[in-house]
Amino acid sequence: MILQAIIDIAEICARKGVQDVVLSPGSRCAPLTLAFARHPKLRVRTVPDERSAAFIGLGIAQKTKKPVVLVCTSGTAAYNYAPAVAEAFYQNIPLLVLTADRPPEWIDQLDGQTIRQSRIYGGHVKRSIDFPVETNHSDAQWYGVRLLNEALNEAVAFPEGPVHVNIPLREPFYPEPEEEFAYSKNVKIIEELPSGYGLPEQTWAALKKELQQYRRVVVVAGQGARDEALQAAIATFCRNTGAVYITDTISNQQTAGESINYHDVFLGAKHLHSQEQLQPDLLITFHKSLISKSLKLFLRKQKGMHHWHLQPAGMVADTFQSLTRIIRTSPLDFFGKVAARENLLQVAPDFTQAWHDLDRQGKLVLTQFQKNSPYSEFNACYLVLRSLPNNSLLHLANSMSVRYANLIGVAEREGVEVFANRGTSGIDGSTSTAVGSALSTDQIVTFLTGDMAFLYDRNALWHNYLPQNLRIVVLNNHGGGIFRMIEGPRSQPELRTYFETEQRQTAQKTAEDMGLTYTKVTDAASLAQALPSFFDLAAGPQLLEVETDSAENYAVFAAYREQVAQRIKL
């Protein structure tokens, strides 16, 4: 059959562990669509908007930890994948991006839906592959099978990430009625076994010896997945050594009473940044990015500090301008080995005590402020985050939503895992990512978003797979309220028109059009009353719109900052 090489792409994916495929309708991609749609072992969903489709695929892969296949037609459809591909690249999420294309002789010949698609995602994919145009010869067939195996192996090799395969297709796109449509039974599969990334014993001995010279050690967790074994290993390390463990909300490593969870509160008191009592001489980091700007600024000011980063392979960022050593092992391996060695080092007690005292102060100031503050989106976020169901998922849109969540934290909740698109930190696709996540689990998935991010990505709900476990909270201040919080734009006369981009829309029509139960609240009492039924698992998909005033939000947040500056003291 002339399309056999294309049909077998789906078979290779299924045999190599792919379970989910998200495709967008098109003509040029028809052979790929048929190959995946007819495969009995693949779960295939159709999402018309390619940008949303790619982020939904990202959300599925983020939750399942397995590669997801994206399929689109030729032309600008492929470009619409770009934001999600970049996010997947920086979050290390495995995607196999399959873009249908015109044959090479028709590129730049003014033919319809034809652009330069080869290597279209530039440096934001782990690898870009051009599938063979002609696959009649046995060598070409072997080459195509080999390329697909290589692409999937590369997507899941550490650090995981997106791989692009551009597939030129000639007509006919559809099998003839008399042709047999079947997957090859003996298609070749190439397996790649993962590396253990272990360190030799002499290296561990050298690290143990060097660790003994440090007296002020801070461990910082970046964005990562929930890992109870890692939590336990770091807790043991900190108990044995007195090291301080700092966790952002998106690290999913917060532990009440053990980790420092309210640093984004107390480091808002800028006078603390120069306090010698808090200054580490060794920083140990792992995983990806941080939300807390205050923590990043604090660490960048620590001149002379040594910085070790734990990462088995791949590019390492020097986020704090202090990187001195890259240790090529997993965080669990590192802390598991050093935690087992008691008396490895002993951090100065006053250093550890100072950090934990400030953490308690931060929590106290935040809690008391919320009890006495007037209704605002900060107050609303606090109530929502303190009402999350146990063993649920929380997705955060960028801009103020993720910042509020990092201040408030979820350490008090049992089993809540937190996700956010902090690879590129864009507002595009955050709703779609939450939808993809909800499609991959029976747990409640709560998505906390602002009005701008929600309106920007309404096509996340434009398909036939609305998850029953999806809960969307829209903080609607009728504009980009974050710009009122930032000193620069706040003082400009163009603030309201050109930065906040004032709009009067609500989420009601979108909720009604897409089949979500809609509730609107405009005060704290009605919000508190609405939350129990909102989180009822049997209630179906829901959208809760929390309407606030942008100027009032700023006034409340400014009062909060003033409280922090006045009350946080060493």
**How many structural domains does the chain have?**
3
Both 279 and 211 in one domain: the answer is yes
- Give the position of tokens 């796109």: 173
Here the tokens at position 5 are 């090489």
Both 396 and 532 in one domain: the answer is yes
CA distance 530 to 524: 10
Last-in-domain residue among 120, 144, 168 = 168
- Give the position of tokens 């999350």: 388
Residue 177 lies in a domain: no
| Alpha-carbon distances, residue 453 vs 147, 481, 503 (angstroms) | 38, 12, 13
What's the pLDDT at 498? 64
- 8 A C-beta contact, residue 541 and residue 507: no
CA distance 72 to 56: 14
What's the pLDDT at 447? 98
What's the pLDDT at 489? 67
DSSP one-letter code for 511: H
Q: Which of 27, 25, 32 is closest to 10 using CA atoms?
A: 32
CATH number of the domain encompassing residue 345: 3.40.50.1220
Residue 378 lies in a domain: yes
Last-in-domain residue among 336, 360, 384 = 360
Both 394 and 294 in one domain: the answer is no
Rounded to 5°, angle at Cα 327 from 419 and 275: 70
Residue 95 lies in a domain: yes
Low-confidence ranges of the chain (pLDDT < 50): none
CATH number of the domain encompassing residue 51: 3.40.50.970
Q: What is the distance of C-alpha 462 from the center of its chain? A: 22
| Alpha-carbon distances, residue 98 vs 71, 181, 188, 553 (angstroms) | 5, 21, 19, 44
- DSSP-based three-state secondary structure for 27: coil
Q: Which residues pair with 46 in a beta bridge?
A: 23
Both 381 and 322 in one domain: the answer is no
Give the range of the structural domain holding residue 126, as residue numbers without chain letter: 4-168
Residue 35 lies in a domain: yes
CA distance 462 to 513: 9
Which residues, including other chains, have CB under 8 Å from residue 558's CB and lie 6 or more apart? none
Kindly report the number of other CB atoms within 10 A of residue 136's CB atom: 10
Alpha helices (H) along 171-227: 201-211
Kindly report the number of other CB atoms within 10 A of residue 236's CB atom: 16
Both 535 and 398 in one domain: the answer is yes
Both 394 and 318 in one domain: the answer is no
What's the pLDDT at 486? 66
Residue 179 lies in a domain: no
- Give the position of tokens 């605002």: 376
- Give the position of tokens 């979820």: 410
CA distance 266 to 407: 10
Here the tokens at position 429 are 């696709």
Q: What is the distance of C-alpha 366 from the center of its chain? A: 26
Strand order in the sheet with 542-547: 417-420, 393-396, 445-450, 470-476, 542-547, 517-521
Both 43 and 98 in one domain: the answer is yes
Both 270 and 161 in one domain: the answer is no
Residue 215 lies in a domain: yes
What's the pLDDT at 179? 80
Which residues, including other chains, have CB under 8 Å from residue 153's CB and lie 6 or more apart? 190, 191, 192
Both 159 and 20 in one domain: the answer is yes
What's the pLDDT at 517? 97
Residue 377 lies in a domain: yes
What's the pLDDT at 481? 62
- DSSP-based three-state secondary structure for 547: strand
What's the pLDDT at 420? 97
Q: Is the overall model pTM greater than 0.75, yes or no? A: yes
Last-in-domain residue among 337, 360, 383 = 360
Both 94 and 140 in one domain: the answer is yes
Kindly report the number of other CB atoms within 10 A of residue 561's CB atom: 13
CA distance 362 to 331: 28
Residue 182 lies in a domain: no
Can you give the three-state secondary structure of 235-303, one letter per residue? HHHHHHHCCEEEECHHHCCCCCCCCECCHHHHCCCHHHHHCHHHCCCEEEEECCCCCCHHHHHHHHCCC
Both 29 and 129 in one domain: the answer is yes
Both 388 and 355 in one domain: the answer is no
Q: Under the phi-then-psi rule, with left for phi > 0, alpha for psi from -120 to 50, and beta for the rest, what region is 409?
A: left
